[in-house]
Amino acid sequence: MPESVSNITAQMPRAKLAGLLLFFLGPAVAIYTLFSIYPLVATMALSTYTSDPSGARYFVGLANFETLLGDALWSKPFWNAFGNNLIFFAVHMCVQNPIGIALAGLLSLPGLRLKGFYRTVMFLPTMLSVVIVGFSWNLILSPLWGVASGALKAVGLGSLFAPWLGLESSALVTLSLISVWQFVGIPMMLIYAALLNIPEELIDAARVDGLGHFRIFFHIKLPLVLPTISLVSVLTFVANFNAFDLIYSVKGALAGPNFATDILGTFFYRTFFGNQLQLGNPTMGSAVATVMFFIILLGLCLYLFLVQRRVRRYAF
């Protein structure tokens, strides 16, 4: 019988074991520390300092956070960005994920032709650069030379057109929908893969039990891919609260009109690097980044404790 690993390591000289561990774990730990742990810790550390006009830094404890959440000059844009971010996330949850699930369900229908084609086409936008997507949609929706108004006119719905990206009331939702359009392929692919895992015989059993495709989807397939859906939700949450690039490429760092599309990412950017008349403030920016980190951490913890523990994975 081969010796078990724990036996072998127990008999090894300490120095040799340490050397082995260093050899196998060292590179990964080093890279992870350098690029993930160190920046995180450094950012958190920086958020407890402030700097005067000469550039010297002083330790101020949690004062930056007090300013950020307590001083109306800071807290108003912060809560505005946070609220917008929640809306951004809600649109993804309510539009992107249901559509992703529905598309996955359609793709997994038996006897569908051109499956590979549809799959590729719907995944294509995900592979495009966000900058290109933002720019294209900016052009499409432009009231001056965009094709959207012409296209609506062509089908007799010209009166519905509005400069959606320019209106305070609709800019955020429009941007969210552009993001949904781009990334709907990801939930679709993940859920499609999970659906393929469901054994054929189980579906056959449901058909013998008298269920049609629709009911099979709702009563059998959907409950069985719930773990994947919850995973997709948490990925959406993290991605949305870290989002920045689409807003920046469509609306710029000012996230107009009148900060209607400002989310935590753009708020952080302006704070840290400065923008137009606003001076960059790395220590305050670090405080924003730290708060963002804790918001995501809190969301993940809620997910782990409230959702993950209740969702059951099924082995087939």
| Binding segment (CB under 8 A) for other proteins, from list 26-34, 180-188, 214-222, 278-286 | 214-222
Out of 16, 57, 153, 207, point to the residue binding other proteins (CB under 8 A): 207
Residue among 44, 177, 211, 234 that touches other proteins (CB under 8 A):
211
Question: Which lies closer to other proteins via its Cβ, residue 206 or residue 247?
Answer: 206
Comparing CB distances to other proteins, the nearer of 53 and 212 is: 212
CB of 45 to other proteins, least distance (A): 47
Residue 35 touching other proteins (CB under 8 A)? no
Checking DSSP bridges between strand 274-275 and strand 57-59, what pairing results, if any?
unpaired
Question: What CA–CA distance (Å, rounded) separates 47 from 281?
Answer: 10
- Say whether residue 224 binds other proteins (CB under 8 A): yes
Give residue 259's region: left, alpha or beta (phi > 0; psi -120 to 50).
left
Binding of other proteins by 292 (CB under 8 A): no
The count of chain residues that interact with other proteins, using the rule CB under 8 A, is 20
Do 270 and 285 meet the contact criterion of CB atoms below 8 Å apart? no
Question: Does residue number 219 form part of the binding site for other proteins (CB under 8 A)?
Answer: yes
From the CB of residue 31, how many other CB atoms can be counted at a distance below 10 Å? 10
Distance separating alpha carbons of residues 192 and 176, to the nearest angstrom: 23
Q: Which is nearer to other proteins, 198 or 235 (CB)?
A: 198
Part in contact with other proteins (CB under 8 A); list of ranges 60-68, 142-150, 153-161, 218-226: 218-226
Contact flag: residue 98 with other proteins (CB under 8 A) = no
Q: Which of 190, 206, 247, 291 binds other proteins (CB under 8 A)?
A: 206
Q: Does 201 bind other proteins (CB under 8 A)?
A: yes
- Looking at the Cβ atoms of 220 and 295, the one nearer to other proteins is 220
Under rule CB under 8 A, residue 113 binds other proteins: no
Q: Does 52 bind other proteins (CB under 8 A)?
A: no
312: contact with other proteins by CB under 8 A: yes
Q: How far apart are CA 180 and CA 93, in angstroms?
A: 9
Asked if 311 is part of the footprint of other proteins (rule: CB under 8 A), the reply reads no
208 near other proteins (CB under 8 A): yes
Token pair for 34:
């350098």
- Interface residue list for other proteins (CB under 8 A): 199, 201-202, 204-211, 215, 219-220, 223-224, 312, 314-316
